[in-house]
Amino acid sequence: MEKLRQIKFESPTFTKRIKGMLGVDLYRLFHTPLFYIFIAIAAIIPAMLIAMTGMTGPNGEPSTPLFTNVWQAIAADIPIYGFEGIEKYANMNMVFIFGGIMVSIFIGHDYKSGYVKQLFTTHAKKEDYMISKSLTCAFTMACMCVSYLFGGVIAGLLTQISFAVNVGNLLCAILGKIIMSLGWASLYTFLNVIFRRYFGVSIASSFFFGTGILVIGVGSIIGNTPVLNVFLYGSSVFACLSSNLWTLINCLAVSLAWTGIYILLGSHILNKSDVY
């Protein structure tokens, strides 16, 4: 009983709390196959897209090339918000679709295994959960973007298509998309918190939003306007091969703003509803 009287309850600082929860998520990420599978998927997608460029038709005639330049598989030449053919759509933005599925599986396992009970028993602050998941999943999607880049480059070398590009614009496009990973990760974390009891719905909703279909639909109606950059998909499209520093600032602002909104909304939902 003497020891009992010595029990002290020191409130952990925000940094210590996040370090603990983020540590768990990263440990789990690196010790399960999920992360490596999605990294591999990200590398395969551009390779497949670029490989299609060199395909021939049924009679042996060369088909219309999907890309004339390797970097078109990374980002579109100019921002096109509506749908104008698969070649304008199929680029690094596809990482965000597969990333959504990855986030759904990652968070879904928290609930399926019951581990989330351990997290919420020891962490009273629900925003810790939202922040940690968003950062971990953003890191994964950023890694997928890099993997996508390598997959594209290797496929380009093998198919010997053009590598001509303005390096500055290309770097801004890639960095812009990597920055957007955070916003997308927080959106998916939020969706998975809403549909935490319905794994299938979580995946379906992540896929739905990841395709950017809402912005594409609006873009087709109101036209190709930069107003759509306020949305995650809009800014992801904005990070294209004509990007510059302004693009990066735009991506950073939009990504952070949406991250903040989704973390606040997700924390509110977790605080006001039964978590398990």
Partner 1 sequence: MNAIEIKHLSKSFRGMYAVNDLNMTVPVGSIYGFIGENGSGKSTTEKLICGHLVPDAGEIKLFGRDYKDAGVRVRVGALIENAGCFPGSSIYQNLMMQAINLGIENRDEEIKRVLKIVRMQDNANIKFKSCSLGMKQRIGIAMALLGEPALLILDEPINGLDTDGMKIMRDILVDITKSYGCTVLISSHILGELEKIATHYGIIRQGKMIMELSAKEMESRARVFTSLKTDDMKGALSKLKEKYDNVREEDGYLRVYDVDEVEEIVDYLYKKGYVVSEIRKNKIGLEEYYIELMSKKEK
Residues that bind partner 1 (CB under 8 A): 1, 3-5, 7, 9-12, 16-17, 19-21, 23-24, 27-28, 31-32, 109, 113-125, 271-276
The distance of closest approach from Cβ of residue 34 to partner 1 in the complex, given in angstroms and rounded to an integer, is 10
- CA pair distance 211, 198, nearest whole angstrom: 20
Nearer Cβ to partner 1, position 32 or 162?
32
Asked if 91 and 76 count as a contact pair (C-beta separation under 8 A), the reply is yes
- CA pair distance 178, 92, nearest whole angstrom: 10
Nearer Cβ to partner 1, position 230 or 269?
269
Nearer Cβ to partner 1, position 25 or 87?
25
Residue 170: count other Cβ atoms within 10 Å of its Cβ.
17
Question: What is the token pair recorded at 116?
Answer: 């989330």
- For residue 93, how far is the Cα from the chain centroid? 8
The distance of closest approach from Cβ of residue 108 to partner 1 in the complex, given in angstroms and rounded to an integer, is 12
Nearer Cβ to partner 1, position 56 or 272?
272
The distance of closest approach from Cβ of residue 199 to partner 1 in the complex, given in angstroms and rounded to an integer, is 15
| Per-residue DSSP letter, 161 | -
Nearer Cβ to partner 1, position 3 or 167?
3
Helix 167-194 and helix 94-113, axial crossing angle in degrees, nearest 10:
30
The distance of closest approach from Cβ of residue 35 to partner 1 in the complex, given in angstroms and rounded to an integer, is 13
- CA pair distance 132, 24, nearest whole angstrom: 9
Nearer Cβ to partner 1, position 246 or 276?
276
Nearer Cβ to partner 1, position 4 or 164?
4
**Helix H or strand E segment including 20:** helix 14-30
| Cα distances (angstroms) measured from residue 267 to each of 88, 130, 205 | 36, 7, 19
Question: Residue 56: left (phi > 0), alpha (psi -120 to 50), or beta?
Answer: beta
- CA pair distance 178, 175, nearest whole angstrom: 5
| Per-residue DSSP letter, 211 | T
Residue 252: count other Cβ atoms within 10 Å of its Cβ.
17
